[in-house]
């Protein structure tokens, strides 16, 4: 696996994503659509997804989903060094841009993604998130008998592809 990007390289990848032209944005949209069609998270590219899964499963696995993700990730790294991590940086930049736009549109001035920028959080690592405003709090759903969004949606588990669980290291 290639070396990880430095914080400066991640910042540069985020800046590159912020300056993407129309055709590149259309290609990213098609990539995100394919990812969602195959069970991935919305607004995440396939490159980001396979990198995330590969990182969550550091050892070789017989799980076909993990094997496929590791194969795709390795192939993309042949085309561009650290392709998956660069894609993750681009996904983060686009997500921050959407969050800022929607917050402005909703008139929200404080909250978990308040004033996040690539310069302030180059690795997407944030400090403690402020408590959401009372109007934004949701009452717990007691009808599902202990079901949580994470337990109902296998893609929300870290590193999931077809419900794959990370290697336990044994």
Q: Which two tokens stand for residue 83?
A: 């392709």
Give the pLDDT score at 2.
60
Q: Is residue 164 part of a domain?
A: no
Residue 62 domain-assigned (yes or no): yes
Task: Round to whole Å and give the CA distance between 95 and 145.
Answer: 32
* Helix, strand, coil % over all residues of the chain, rounded to 5: 50, 0, 50
Tokens of 139: 């009452």
Angle between helices 46-56 and 22-37 (to 10 degrees): 50
SS3 assignment for 95-153: HHHHHHHHHHHHCCCCCCCCCCCCCCCCCCCCCCCCCCCHHHCCCCCCCCCCCCHHHHC
Residue 168 has pLDDT above 80, yes or no: no
Domain annotation covers residue 146: no
pLDDT in tens, 34-84: 999 999 999 999 999 999 999 998 887 788 999 999 999 999 999 999 999
CA–CA dist 56, 53 (Å, integer) = 5
Q: What are phi and psi of 115, to 5 degrees?
A: 45, 45
pLDDT at 24 over 60: yes
When divided into structural domains, the chain yields a total of 1
**Position 76 in a domain:** yes
Read off the pLDDT of residues 115-152 as tens digits, 9 standing for 90 and up: 444 444 444 444 344 444 444 444 444 444 444 444 33
* pLDDT on residue 137: 47
The reply to whether 145 falls in a domain is no
Residue 88 forms part of a structural domain: yes
**Structural domain that includes position 81:** 1-107
Residue 28: inside a domain:
yes
Is the pLDDT reported for residue 28 higher than 90? yes
Residue 113 included in any domain: no
- Flag whether pLDDT at 163 surpasses 80: no
Report the distance separating Cα 147 and Cα 83, nearest Å: 36
């Amino acid at each position: 696996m290639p070396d990880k990007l430095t914080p400066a390289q991640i910042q540069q990848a985020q800046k590159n994503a912020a300056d993407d032209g129309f055709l590149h944005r259309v290609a990213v949209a098609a990539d995100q659509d394919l990812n969602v069609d195959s069970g991935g998270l919305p607004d995440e590219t396939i490159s980001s997804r396979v990198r995330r899964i590969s990182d969550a499963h550091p050892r070789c696995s017989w799980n076909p989903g993990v094997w496929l993700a590791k194969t795709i990730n390795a192939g993309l790294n042949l085309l561009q060094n650290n392709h998956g991590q660069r894609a993750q940086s681009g996904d983060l930049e686009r997500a921050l841009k959407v969050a800022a736009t929607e917050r402005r549109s909703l008139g929200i001035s404080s909250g978990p993604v308040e004033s996040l920028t690539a310069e302030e959080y180059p690795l997407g690592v944030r400090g403690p998130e402020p408590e959401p405003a009372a109007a934004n709090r949701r009452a717990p759903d007691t009808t599902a008998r202990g079901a949580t969004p994470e337990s109902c949606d296998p893609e929300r588990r870290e590193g999931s592809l077809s419900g794959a669980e990370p290697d336990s290291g044994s």
